């Protein structure tokens, strides 16, 4: 398991074939449509369409979209094979306005291995989850394992300090409301620390 490193393509302009594909997509009535395509052995291109009549404001971190890759494990259950690496620098947090019907593109890593499975992309947008289509791929089975890098991540440990492992993983795996829950528990934790220090 590694953290997601998707890169936005600011030069991208959707062609007519892609627009038609979105219109014929099974999720054509969804507020946000996402189509993932394998570009080559190392890259997957992900296209996101604002399917509303209004301009959509997408939150980004260092111009990366909030997304991680998931795969079906041996039991056929969807599990994360990536996590999100939050930044503690205020300047990292940006936003991009996506006009109605506009399609944007980002690229992310395609993994390789011997375990045949299906993958998909999980997006966190306005505290809601959106999924891409599924793709048949081969990955390394160890990608389901939580690495030491994740458990040593500053965000993970900040959540762990104020709450527990379950919430820490929810935050790293982009679960809705997880950051809000962390903020609330962190505030309670800070009050307890302050009161404890006053009593000394």
The DSSP bridge partners found for residue 69 are 121
Give, for 67, the enclosing helix (H) or strand (E).
strand 67-72
pLDDT of residue 200: 58
Rg (CA), the chain: 19
What fold characterizes domain 2-144? Immunoglobulin-like (2.60.40)
pTM: 0.92
Q: What are phi and psi of 101, to 5 degrees?
A: 70, 0
pLDDT digits (tens, 9 = 90+) for 156-182: 999 999 999 999 999 999 999 999 999
Query: What are the residue boundaries of the structural domains of the chain, listed by start?
Result: 2-144, 146-200
Per-residue pLDDT at 192: 85
Could you read off the pLDDT of 82-103 as tens digits, one per residue?
999 998 787 888 899 999 999 9
- Tell me the CB-side half-sphere exposure of residue 25, using CA atoms within 13 A: 24
Nearest to 101 by CA among 31, 52, 33: 52
By the 8 A CB rule, do 112 and 82 touch?
no
Q: What pLDDT was estimated at residue 196?
A: 76
């Amino acid at each position: 398991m590694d953290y997601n490193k998707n890169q936005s393509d600011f030069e991208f302009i959707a062609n007519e074939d892609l627009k038609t594909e979105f219109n014929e997509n099974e999720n054509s009535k969804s507020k946000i449509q996402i189509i993932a395509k394998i570009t080559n052995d190392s890259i997957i291109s992900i296209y996101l369409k604002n399917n509303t009549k209004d301009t959509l404001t997408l939150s980004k971190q260092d111009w990366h979209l909030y997304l991680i890759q998931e795969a079906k494990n041996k039991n056929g259950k969807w599990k994360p094979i990536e996590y999100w690496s939050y930044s503690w620098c205020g300047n990292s947090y940006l936003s991009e306005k996506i006009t109605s019907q506009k399609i944007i593109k980002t690229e992310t890593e395609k993994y390789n291995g011997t375990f045949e499975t299906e993958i998909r992309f999980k997006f966190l947008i306005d505290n809601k989850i959106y999924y891409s289509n599924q793709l048949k791929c081969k990955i390394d089975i160890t990608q389901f394992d939580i690495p030491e890098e994740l458990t040593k991540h500053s965000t993970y440990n900040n959540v762990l300090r104020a709450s527990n492992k379950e919430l820490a993983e929810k935050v790293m795996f982009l679960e809705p409301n997880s950051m809000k829950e962390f903020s609330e528990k962190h505030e309670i934790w800070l009050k307890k620390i302050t009161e404890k220090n006053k009593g000394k």
